[in-house]
Structure formats: C-alpha cells, structure tokens
Amino acid sequence: MPPAHPFDDDKLKEECGVYGVIGVTDAANFVALGLHALQHRGQEAGGIVSHEPEQGFNSVRRFGYVRDNFTRHSLMETLPGPLAIGHVRYSTAGSKGAAIRDVQPFFGEFSMGGAAIAHNGNITNAEALRKELIERGSIFQSSSDSECIIHLMARSLQRNIPERMEDALRRVEGAFSIVAMTQSELIGVRDPLGVRPLVLGQVADGWVLSSETCGLDIIGATYVREIEPGEMVVISEKDGVQSHYPFRRVPSRFCIFEHVYFSRPDSIIGGRSVYETRHQIGVELAREAPVEADLVCPVPDSGTPAAIGFSRESGIPYAMGIIRNQYMGRTFIEPTEQIRNMGVRLKLNVNRALIKGKRVILVDDSVVRGTTSRKIKEMILDAGAKEVHFRIASPPTAWPCFYGVDTPQREKLLAATMSEDEMRDHLQVDSLKFISLNGLYRAVGEIEGRDSKCPQYCDACFSGEYPVAPSDMIEKGFQLKAAE
C-alpha cells in the first residue's frame, strides 16, 4: 500500500496502536472507534478479535484505514461479544507492504483456551528467539516479531494464559505495550522500561485499554491512569482490574519522541498535555535559537503547536504560510513522473500573498532524510520569500530506533552524516537550528534538563544511547555509539 502522501517516507512512523474493551455490549464497535482515534499510529492495516460465549472467538483483519473497513454493519455483525481487542499498524519488523498474515491481533489456541494478542513496539531479540523456536518445532505463520510471543506462550508450562504471557515476556527484549484477551479476560502489559504508552479507562460498567487517551475520549470513557512500566493488569467482569509487576523494576525510559510527534496533540502523557508540551518546545526553541524575521509559519500539521510557542516567545507574528490540502488521500491517481515531481504540492500549498517579500521562520517537528524540507523551502522561495529559516522542534535524528518506529538505515539519516552547518548548506536555507536535547527535556517538564548518567526518557534516536541493546541488529553488524 502506498504512503498516505508522497513525502510520508520523510517522517518517522510509529509502528502501531493497540486497543481493548471488556464489559460492554458489542465491544468490537467500541474497539473500531478507538482504532479510528489511533489511526495516526498506523495506517497500513488493522484488525479486531472479539469473543462471544456461544460463538467463541471471531477475527477480522484488513488492509487500509479503519473507516474503510470497520464501519460496515455487515462486517461488524461478525464480531459479537462483550470483549474485543484491536490493532492498527505500520510495518517495522516483518515485511514492508506485508501480507495479511502479518496483520494483528494474532490468535493462538492453547490447552486452556484461546488467546489473542496485539503488540505495539519491537522485540530486539526476535530473530534469535525465532531461530530457537523453529529449531524446536514451532511453525510461524507471519514475518512479524510479535508472533514470537504466541509461540513462547505455547511452550510455557504455566497454568493459565496470563502466567504463560508473563513467562513468555521474560524472554523478550526490547519494547512492548501489549493488549491481549482470553475468553473472559482483557490483559494489558508494558515492558519494564515503559518505552511505549498504554492507558486504562472506564466506560459504563466496562474497562478500556488504549495506546493513548484520545482513544478513550472518542467513546466517552473516563481516564483512570497509565499502565505503569513493568505492570501487568488482568481485567475481568467478575473481578475488575487485578494488577501486579512480573518483571524486575528498573528506571523507566518512556519514548521522548511520543511527546514530539507520535502522539496526538489532544492526548495526555504522564499527566501533561501533548499540545502544551509541543507549545513549550517552541518556547524553548525561540530562547535557544532566536533570529530576526517577519513571520513564524508551521509545517502542517505536526509543527503547529511548536510554531505557536515560538511565535509567542519571540514576539514574531504567527501565520499560516503553508496551507494543507485536507483531501489528499491514498486513492489519488497513479502519478506520472511529471506529477510525482510536483510531489509536495499535492499536499501543501504556499499562501503567496502572505509570504512574498517576508523573512520566514519555518517550524517543523523533525528532519529525517531532508527531502521534504528542501521541497518546502523551494516552494517558499518560489512564492517570493526574502529569507527562509528552519527551526526544528527536536534534536537532530542521527540514530535509528529499534523499539517500534520505522526508521531509515543510519546512513540515510541526514544528521548521521552531516553537521548542523552542513545540513543548513544541504537544505540551502539561511539558517537551520534544532532544539538541544536539554531544551527538549526542559519542555517535557524536566527543569534541570537531561540526566546524562540516568536519562529520564529513551532518546536513542537523538543520543545513540540505547537502553536495551538491539541484539539482532548488532548480530548483523550494527555499530553502537562508542563510549565517551
């Protein structure tokens, strides 16, 4: 499936979103709404598994948007019951443009009954586990790293499915936020570092698990709390929420890029509004990298809150200098080479009357390969801008992520091969500045900045300091950052 617009490949993509509901009539309908709210976390495919006591488990997996699949009454009728989980995905581990067998949730039948599992994150020792499991007789149906968990559960000798899941996850390295289900239980679990998000909510007499709080809002659920790093919750209609901590406690390392880009701006993370955090990133950026200019313009849509913060702190007027075409979708005509070269204009257009003769500050969330940045700069200059200054609401992305984000190989990351000045010359702009890592930490509420001895977040994509060694990639020759 093609990307949603011609330059999606110049953004880092979250791997997926997970969602689960128990204790409501037709839980799958609630899950479909929740997945719709989490669509930004994965637009390649989606799936829902439900359980109804008489019919048992039912599953539907489809490529494409939630709205194009899970809104049809005839399809939703095939997913009855008071318990359901769902998943939206991009592909990271596994094949790009994968087969339907790679679409989650995955289902397994065990001696004590069936279970389905949906996983957000990436297992960094998946290839080693897969090799071991195949040698012991496991037969894999997909290329996804998440399927390892099902096979590890099948080989566990524990008495029930939650205990088997604990057993399996102790063998797993990397990042995982998981929503799973048995015939009568909804299960949520986060890895000990808490790299990827997961929240708990309540709707009527039922319970909800969601990757983000915006998934609770859409069904009118009440936010209860975040699932803690290293916590497992087992939820049933009979006993409610049962919580325990099956892993050794370690300092948490939540993904800081969730604050910068991945999460929706109307979500709450760690008690903080994502929108307010991004606004504060713009404030910090204006303090760190001031420049004389006439307008502050966001690169839609992800740069908007930071641009507003930059404008308010600097006193330079905020303006919508670039207008987004909201109707650019996946079903656009197959582009010819000529149309493809127009690329970004299919999605963005410059507000010429506003830009002409002005010194413009463009605020964007990140620079990955730099292809989009160059084309947007050219559009701004074509519209008659006098100067173009880029201000980036994250530090330079110089290292790939191995914890559930689709990142290019390191040599394709602009910041991996160029200094800030070299990137400025490559993009051919008047100035280019990124927020510092300490500035980003201050914006997310760490007033003293980053603790270099024990960082409060996972920031490996900026720092090269991986909290969990990516063992599969190291085996393939990936070079970790040399110790300083």
Active site residues: 16
CA distance 166 to 22: 21
Contact yes or no for 377/362 (Cβ under 8 A): yes
CA distance 482 to 444: 27
Burial (0-12, 13-18, 19+ Cβ within 10 Å), 276: middle
Sign of CA dihedral 156, 162, 167, 172: positive
- Helix then strand count (H, E) for the chain reads 18, 25
Three-state secondary structure readout of 31-59: HHHHHHHCHHHCCCEEEEEEEECCCEEEE
Contact yes or no for 63/44 (Cβ under 8 A): yes
Token pair in block for residue 381: 């200059």
CA distance 380 to 428: 12
Token pair in block for residue 412: 């394709």
Q: Which amino acid is at 64?
A: G
Burial (0-12, 13-18, 19+ Cβ within 10 Å), 248: exposed
Name the one residue in this structure whose structure tokens are 């899950």: 31
Sign of CA dihedral 421, 425, 426, 428: positive
